[in-house]
Amino acid sequence: MNAKIIKPPAEELYKKELLALEKHDKGPKPLNWRLSPKAVRTFILGSDEPLEIEGEEIYIKKKFYGDDALIERCIVTLAGNRGLMLVGEPGTAKTMLSELLTAAICGISTNTIQGTAGTTEDMIKYSWNYAMLLAKGPSKEALVPSPLYTGMENGIITRLEEITRCPSEVQDSLISMLSDKVLNIPELGKDGVVFASPGFNVIATANIRDKGVNEMSSALKRRFNFETVFPIKDLSLEVEIIENESRKLLKQADIDMEIDRDAVKILASTFHELREGITVEGHRLDKPEAVMSTAEAVSVYFQSAMSAYYYDGGDISMDRVVQNILGAVIKESREDLNKLKNYFTIVAKQRSTKEGGLWTNYYSAKKWIK
């Protein structure tokens, strides 16, 4: 695969890990799975023991931090006959999990439908190549399969991103495929039936906080096992994720730069404490309406690091960090601005006198919040 692509799919990014796991996998596998449920779990949660492959020691990195039992439940759901629905606030790694699960289970994470207000039933089922349709009439060759069709035919998982953004009647067209595991194509007459092969399943994701989402029918809900993915509870874990993810992004952007751990800690504290509405010292804070997710914190760090790299001679400054936090926080309402300001006058001020260091720079960068 081309090394110069912006975001390689998970199966490409972790190719060696997957090969090593496959080679050493002795656990029982559901039909058509590439790895056993045990190995899928190891792929996502990592292991301390390296696996040898062609004389090389491969370490399986931990990719998801948080609730380990959730991962097991997700994997077991996928081996059964109900779909998996991941719900939660934006930026809680639902998409990441769905990519990792599909890469490990069937080796393809790109068999995906992105739900939008413009998603139609054709995009869920199948459409036609019209030139071919006119020339040959309805036939298998003229049919353009959807990712769901492909999943059923090949016995692999189909990902449905942001399912609740699809109009309700389009969502409901999934019901028969999920319960009967069959897709009818009336245009093809008696040949027009696709039965799902073993290994087929669906992972859907839905953000609970997005505006403009459509209610999901109870009939469709019953076809899924729901799992809620929560924001990270532990501040030090969040620091670690922001650090690792920022390092990954900088490397992808071809920027050779060390991560400033103290800056990451301040950023993580700000996001964590505002999201939870309470500081580590126990002060109550007003929670902003904006999503203070780990993913947003990563993008603030990355932006600030890029500015430092291109404009400031390489050192990340708290001025840049605060400017970028503004961009992340002031998306929903102007009131969030005051909540952020409050954080500085209460928390940052106190820590600048108590701890000094970068907190002092951070506190003086409050001038950008106008």
Ligand X SMILES: Nc1ncnc2c1ncn2[C@@H]1O[C@H](COP(=O)(O)OP(=O)(O)O)[C@@H](O)[C@H]1O
Our finding on whether 36 is near Mg ion (CB under 5 A) is no
Which pairing describes strands 201-207 and 157-161: parallel, antiparallel, or unpaired? parallel
Segment contacting ligand X by CB under 6 A, of 11-19, 48-56, 128-136, 294-302? 294-302
Distance of alpha carbon 86 from alpha carbon 203, whole angstroms: 7
198 within 8 A of 32, measured Cβ to Cβ: yes
* Residue partners of 237: CB distance under 8 A and separation at least 6: 65, 66
* Phi, psi for 25 (deg, rounded to 5): -75, 120
| Of 36, 95, 173, 352, the one binding ligand X by CB under 6 A | 95
DSSP 128: E
Our finding on whether 46 is near ligand X (CB under 6 A) is no
Minimum distance from residue 250 beta carbon to ligand X (Å): 13
Our finding on whether 299 is near Mg ion (CB under 5 A) is no
Our finding on whether 95 is near Mg ion (CB under 5 A) is yes
- In degrees, rounded to 5, the angle at the alpha carbon of residue 137 between the alpha carbons of residues 133 and 142 is 45
Our finding on whether 245 is near ligand X (CB under 6 A) is yes
Quick one: which H or E segment has residue 194? strand 193-195
Our finding on whether 65 is near ligand X (CB under 6 A) is yes
Query: In this complex, which beta carbon is closest to Mg ion, that of residue 95 or of residue 246?
Result: 95
Query: In this complex, which beta carbon is closest to ligand X, that of residue 165 or of residue 351?
Result: 165
Which two three-digit tokens encode residue 210?
A: 């997005």
| Of 109, 270, 294, 361, the one binding ligand X by CB under 6 A | 294
Our finding on whether 64 is near ligand X (CB under 6 A) is yes
Segment contacting Mg ion by CB under 5 A, of 75-83, 93-101, 179-187, 247-255? 93-101
Residue type, 66: G
Our finding on whether 43 is near ligand X (CB under 6 A) is no
Residue type, 291: V
> b/e string for 213-223 if b means 16 or more Cβ within 10 A?
bbebeeebeeb
| Of 93, 174, 321, 348, the one binding ligand X by CB under 6 A | 93
Our finding on whether 192 is near ligand X (CB under 6 A) is no
Our finding on whether 279 is near ligand X (CB under 6 A) is no
DSSP 217: P
Distance of alpha carbon 7 from alpha carbon 313, whole angstroms: 27
Q: Which residues bind Mg ion (CB under 5 A)?
A: 95
Q: Which residues bind ligand X (CB under 6 A)?
A: 64-66, 88, 90-96, 205, 232, 241, 245, 294-295, 298
